[in-house]
Amino acid sequence: METFKFSKKESRLYMSFMYVTFVSLLVGGLMGLLQTLVRSGKYKLPFNIDYYTILTTHGVILGLVLTTFFIVGFQFSLMGKTVGISDKQILWGWISFWVMLVGTVLAAWMILTGEASVLYTFYTPLRAHPIFYIGLALVIVGSWIAAIVNFRQLYVWKKAHKGEKSPLLAFMVVINMIMWVVASLGVAYSVVVLILPWSLGYVATVNVLLTRTLFWYFGHPLVYFWLLPAYMAWYAIIPKIIGGKLFSDSLARLSFILLLMFSIPVGFHHQLTEPGIDPTWKFIQVVLTFMVVVPTLMTAFSLFATFEITGRNKGHKTLFGWFKHLPWKDVRFLAPFIGMVAFIPGGAGGIINASHQVNSLVHNTIWVTGHFHLTIATTVILTYFGIAYWLIPHLTGRRLTPKLNKLGIIQTIVWTVGMAIMSTSMHIQGLLGGPRRSSFSEYAGGDQVSTWISYQVSQAVGGTILFIGIVLMVYIFIQLAFFAPRGYEDYPIAEEDLDLDTEKTPKILENWYLWIGVTIALILFAYTIPMIDIIKHSPPGSIPFDWPIGRS
Amino acid sequence: MSKKNISAAKQTKEDVNLKGTLIMVMILGVVILVFWFGIYGLFLSR
């Protein structure tokens, strides 16, 4: 058995990101619970705490902080494992960690003191305290440092291994970080050049449509930035856990390249009701959005094939015998598997959201909140938990004991039940016209409103169950980090199946100039003309609004 | 499944059997279409 271990220096760096991840889970999760309780209409926040403060905390801490810290830490460990990391790169890894952490603390300080109740989308003309924007900018800058370190790691490996294809997981990490850097340039420009001077009072007005468009230029690839690490685990780690091998190296690489190309020039599908954007360009970006379906279905096919081939190789010959014999009692498999299942309604809902006409049925309703709680808060987060069950003990030199494994299975079931209740009632309430974002209100009565309330109570029930799941997960994390018995936990990476995957991976799949070139060309095609329109024809800019939410 | 049916044999590229995968991806496609047309029906009815 392989007994690979990271050096202490490496483990400490990767674990630091994990500590922030799980503190964020607890804080952000508590805010989520409070939100659902308030929206049930049966509970009022104490100490004059504003609903929009906790809503912003929930979104920023879970959507931006937890995800970015987990992803950067996990990806650093993948790079360290597959291509290695030098002392200098570890130092830069630490710099990235501290820059991100300082940014997080600054943003959190502003949100918690009510100076930045602008939700995680920080739409103008709502204005937050300038320190909030500086904090967000620092989180992004810190992640860019991590990206540059990752690029350098692969570059150094390639120089030492001339003519060899890069390890699959290193390739995937670099794709994700290229996408992240290209996408976050837009939001960084918006925050630093447009919003910050306006929030400081140096300029009087801001172009609202431009800042919203730049946010969604970033906001959609952001969801793929969350999802791709889950795909990394599905393609290259889950096969090892179930006792199988990688289905196809080329298919996995091609699907990541397609995700890089088609996840950025698609932001308009979040702005389908936005006035000021030509419908032709909305249509074009909707078409590009639908291209993302291709790599997603390639992934689904590859996963089913991995499961079936592994089962059949173990001797389960009936049509679905392979399915019954998957390792259901191994939480490292079960949690990500349920994540995969949640992606079926999650993905189907995504196709509905992105369809121009049908979007009008669900736009700005709580259906959308139900949708992203299936995708990010189930598919992605359950896969992250699945990773944590082996990554944390591997880093701390401990073991996932049978007892902790069992607790993990209970946690996964609790999460699944809680989310099924909460997300389903959000979807239904959304179809009945229930709005997202807003605090509890009876909107001065009305027949339609009365149909919403029972669903909001269901959401509070689901939210409460989910919070129990969060407490369980944090307990498991603390055990794995500090108290589980000393030992060795495998870092599972699947090998290629040379009997089945006999074709050599085409060299063109690693032609970075080509794929980055196509990505940039697609972005320029999808955004240049509408951006010129937006800048030339926008109405006068808006002065800042600190009220009714913003800076209270 | 009885133990009799379980005999490990490594599949190769020539004899790989992916019938289960084919059925699963077809079911997946149907689920997506049912969801979409369900909501589309609601859109038309309003």
Reported confidence tier of residue A499, pLDDT bands at 50, 70, 90: confident
CB contact under 8 A, B35 and A348: yes
pLDDT of residue A316: 85
The CA distance from A351 to A358, in Å, is 10
Report DSSP letters for B1-45, one per residue.
--GGG-------TTT---HHHHHHHHHHHHHHHHHHHHHHHHHHH
Q: Mean pLDDT across chain A, nearest whole number?
A: 94
The CA distance from A342 to A375, in Å, is 7
Low-confidence ranges of chain B (pLDDT < 70): 1-10, 13-14
pLDDT of residue A21: 98
User: Could you tell me which of A359, A546, A388 has the C-alpha nearest to residue A475?
Assistant: A388
A493 pLDDT above the threshold of 90:
yes
Q: What is the DSSP secondary structure assignment for residue A270, as one 8-state letter?
A: G
CB contact under 8 A, B1 and A355: no
User: Could you tell me which of A298, A226, A325, A181 has the C-alpha nearest to residue A21?
Assistant: A226
pLDDT of residue B4: 44
CB contact under 8 A, B21 and A305: yes
pLDDT of residue A551: 85
According to CATH, the superfamily of the domain at A8-437+448-500+511-537 is Cytochrome c oxidase-like, subunit I domain (1.20.210.10)
Reported confidence tier of residue A216, pLDDT bands at 50, 70, 90: very high
Torsions phi, psi of A443, nearest 5? 45, 45
What's the 3-state SS for A293-322? HHHHHHHHHHHHHHHHHHHHHCCCCCCCHH
The CA distance from B32 to A315, in Å, is 32
Contacts of A354 in chain B (CB under 8 A): none
pLDDT of residue B1: 40
**Which residue in the list A152, A325, A436, A488 is annotated as catalytic?**
A436
Test mutation, B2, B15, B27, B32, chain A, max A CBs within 10 A = B32
Contacts of B28 in chain A (CB under 8 A): 297, 300, 344
* Per-residue b or e along B1-28, where b marks 16 or more CB atoms closer than 10 Å to that residue's CB: eeeeeeeeeebeeeebebebbeebbeeb
**Which residue in the list A51, A74, A268, A372 is annotated as catalytic?**
A372
What six digits make up the tokens of A427? 């979807």
Domain ranges within chain A, ordered by starting residue: 8-437+448-500+511-537
A502 pLDDT above the threshold of 70:
yes
User: Could you tell me which of A283, A281, A288 has the C-alpha nearest to residue A264?
Assistant: A288
Give the side-chain half-sphere CA count within 13 A for A324. 10
CB contact under 8 A, B43 and A318: no
A2 pLDDT above the threshold of 60:
no
How many other CB atoms sit within 10 Å of the CB of residue A512?
14
Contact of A396 with A11, CB cutoff 8 Å: yes
Tell me whether A349 touches chain B (CB under 8 Å): yes
Of B31, B36, B42, the CB nearest to A344: B31
% of chain A with per-residue pLDDT over 70? 100
Convert the pLDDT of each residue in A333-383 to its tens digit.
999 999 999 999 999 999 999 999 899 999 999 999 999 999 999 999 999
Convert the pLDDT of each residue in A54-87 to its tens digit.
999 999 999 999 999 999 999 999 999 999 999 9
ipTM reported for the complex, 2 dp: 0.88
How many other CB atoms sit within 10 Å of the CB of residue A329?
11
